[in-house]
Amino acid sequence: MDFNKLNDSMPLPDIGAGERAQKRLNEIAKPVGSLGVLEDMLVKIASLTGSERLSLSPRAVLVMCADNGVAAPDIAITPVRITRVVAEMMARKQSNVCRMAKVAGAEVYAYDVGMFTRSDEKKLSGPHIASGTKNICFGPAMTPQEAESAIAFGIACVRDMKDRGMNLLATGEMGVGNTTTSAAMTAVLLKQKAEYVTGRGSGLSDESLLRKIQVIKEAIAINQPNPDDAFDVLSKLGGFDIAAMCGVFLGGAIYRIPVLIDGLISAAAALTALRLCPRSKSCMLASHVSAEPAGKLLLDEIGVSPVIHANMRLGEGTGAVSMMPIMDMALAIYNDMLTFSDIGMQGGGNT
């Protein structure tokens, strides 16, 4: 996959549309800039889509389900079979993210990108590239061809969402061991020590956390990923879920659909996409700061500002879904609020 060519194919932000959206925000009968980061998001969406006429519906959550070979019992306290169980719950609209998405007015799509075992659930689609990645303690997680296939699948999912008329997407994931792969990638991409970026995931004990950090150190030492080559880092240390979400962010920029970053794993995928194709940043919106140590580091490196600070670590895209109603409220002001002119006043000011 030629990422330079892919980057060049991504539309540049429409500065004019963004300026018109900002003008609209400044004319609304409220203190200028008083919606803070939410205003920045609306302007960014206008620039991405090429229109100041904004709509955030219909919307969808794309959940990439995959297992990781590194999910050994002394690292992951959650049984590896839980990936398939939760993925099937998503397909049946029964999981955590499904309950939240119903409130937020979003449709949930779950995909088997590479779970250990295939599911008979017909509504759980996906390429099933392999039955999990390889154990990064002994070599690369996946081949370059497998990594490219997962990225290409993520891009194709966005094209499908475009055809369905979606105006907002959220990234989600399900896979035991993916905080380990994400922390390993983060350590390399940000050139940080493993101790600094590794968290407890689903609730590791002190002993298991130390083992997790040691595993990440061993994986980096064995695979020797190039920190200046995001694809090399992804294929050696990442997972099919991260690769597919990376493709979603690339697809968002290609097809001009805003994409909400969820937590740690999603942010690692977003940074990978940014490093591969800098123009992909045009579609990226932050939702919340993950409770994992690397969460804020990744968002700072990407250059996006989160709104929700709730120490969430539920996964599945739930943090991104939580952001949707907040965005709806900002959009209601943008679309429906009277202007200073409407109420017979001169605009502006911060009073």
Average pLDDT of 171-197?
Answer: 94
C-alpha to C-alpha distances, 297 to 196, 255, 268, 280, nearest whole angstrom: 10, 28, 10, 19
- Dihedral in degrees, nearest 10, Cα atoms 328, 334, 338, 344: 150
Quote the pLDDT of residue 349.
52
pLDDT above 70: residue 348: no
Domains and CATH numbers, the chain: 56-329 (3.40.50.10210)
Token pair 């130390």 in the structure block, residue: 210
pLDDT above 80: residue 200: no
Token pair 């942010």 in the structure block, residue: 267
C-alpha 20/C-alpha 86 separation (Å) is 43
Quote the pLDDT of residue 77.
54
Of 265, 272, 141, whose CA–CA distance to 202 is shortest? 265
- Residue 108's beta-bridge partner residues? 61
Joined together, the tokens standing for residue 108 give 């949930």
Indicate the pTM of the whole model.
0.94
Quote the pLDDT of residue 322.
97
Instruction: Tell me the residue type at 53.
Output: R
- Residue 170's beta-bridge partner residues? 61, 260
C-alpha 274/C-alpha 266 separation (Å) is 12
pLDDT band for position 313 (50/70/90)?
Answer: confident
Assess contact for 111 and 119: CB atoms under 8 A.
Answer: no
Least reliable range by pLDDT among 28-42, 60-74, 292-306: 60-74
Q: What percent of the chain has pLDDT over 70?
A: 95
Taking only the tens place, the pLDDT of each residue in 65-95 is 999 999 855 555 566 788 999 999 999 999 9
Quote the pLDDT of residue 351.
42
Active-site residue identified among 52, 88, 148, 316: 316
Joined together, the tokens standing for residue 207 give 């002993």
316 included as an active-site residue? yes
